[in-house]
Amino acid sequence: MYAQNTRNEMSTLDANKPELMRSRESFNGVADLYDRYRRGYPTDVLDAIGKMADIGLGSRILEIGPGTGQLTRPLLERGASVMAVELGQDLAAIARRNLGHFVRFEMAVLPFEDWPLPNRPFDTVISGTAFHWIDSQIRASKSARTLRPGGMLVAIYPHQVLGDDGGFFIDSQRAYLKWGLSTDSKWRPPSEHELSAVYQDIDQCPDFASVKRHRIRKTRRFSMDEYIGLLRTDSLILTLSEPYREGLLNDMRRCIDSYYAGTVSRTFVYEIVAATKKPSL
């Protein structure tokens, strides 16, 4: 069991490897729910990525950890071709079902760490809410090796932050304490200025010439069913045994229904990290 003070996937990382491996495989066990409840990215975020990495017709993209295609679809719709490397077989099967009609879509099902380097380099390597699940010792350098000189690595991470939720995250903390997912009764999401930069290993990687970061704040509203469905795909909640998980979700349902008129709003800061490979490599 985690002794969590936050509800952020990043907090489970680099803890120890077996935990990381189990958690990163957890999404595949709920592949159908993942497809149904994990929304894609807001248009502003997609537009910013497209602009930063110059993505459009003819771009050759490698995507790491596509899930069921939340980021893949808009990339394909913008005219790019996408080679996706996905760990989970069931997630990959749904991605193929969702995206198989795009002739510019291909997928390999294996960990990115084991994926053989391609003969022809890519313009862009991209990873949405997945880069932190890749071995931090190799993820930046291996991404660089798959890129053409001047190509770009783009990693996106949605931070959950303090927003205008009317106190929901303070109230719902009781359920996290009760069911053993938190030890901190005073936990609250961080505010935007308290966030630290993600994926700092990219800045340390000598293969990249420059690293830019861009943040976009968005509040998204969920019905109770959407929110409970989303929690069923949360890697932290998936660490609970079934009775504990159902207990927590029942308490959350009661809280949303009794005090929040059946809806929850959640504020995210999407951090986009964009690193340009050195031209001479």
Ligand X SMILES: C[S@@+](CC[C@H](N)C(=O)[O-])C[C@H]1O[C@@H](n2cnc3c(N)ncnc32)[C@H](O)[C@@H]1O
Residue 38 or 213: the one with the smaller Cβ distance to ligand X is 38
Residue 214 or 253: the one with the smaller Cβ distance to ligand X is 214
Minimal distance in Å, beta carbon 161 to ligand X?
18
Residue 129 or 276: the one with the smaller Cβ distance to ligand X is 129
Residue 140 or 255: the one with the smaller Cβ distance to ligand X is 140
Residue 245 or 255: the one with the smaller Cβ distance to ligand X is 245
Residue 24 or 159: the one with the smaller Cβ distance to ligand X is 24
Minimal distance in Å, beta carbon 99 to ligand X?
12
Minimal distance in Å, beta carbon 142 to ligand X?
11
Write out the DSSP string of the chain: ----SS--GGGGTTS-HHHHHHHHHHGGGGHHHHHHH-----HHHHHHHHHHTT--TT-EEEEE--TTTTTHHHHHHTT-EEEEEES-HHHHHHHHHHHTT-TTEEEEES-GGGPPPPSS-EEEEEEES-GGGS-TTTHHHHHHHTEEEEEEEEEEEEEEE--S-TTHHHHHHHHHHHTTS-S-TT--PPPGGGPPPS-HHHHH-TTEEEEEEEEEEEEEEEEHHHHHHHHTT-TTGGGS-HHHHHHHHHHHHHHHHHHSTTEEEEEEEEEEEEEEEPTT-
Minimal distance in Å, beta carbon 204 to ligand X?
20
Minimal distance in Å, beta carbon 158 to ligand X?
9
List contacts with ligand X (CB under 6 A): 24, 27-28, 38, 64-67, 70-71, 85-88, 91, 111-113, 128-130, 133-134
Minimal distance in Å, beta carbon 64 to ligand X?
6
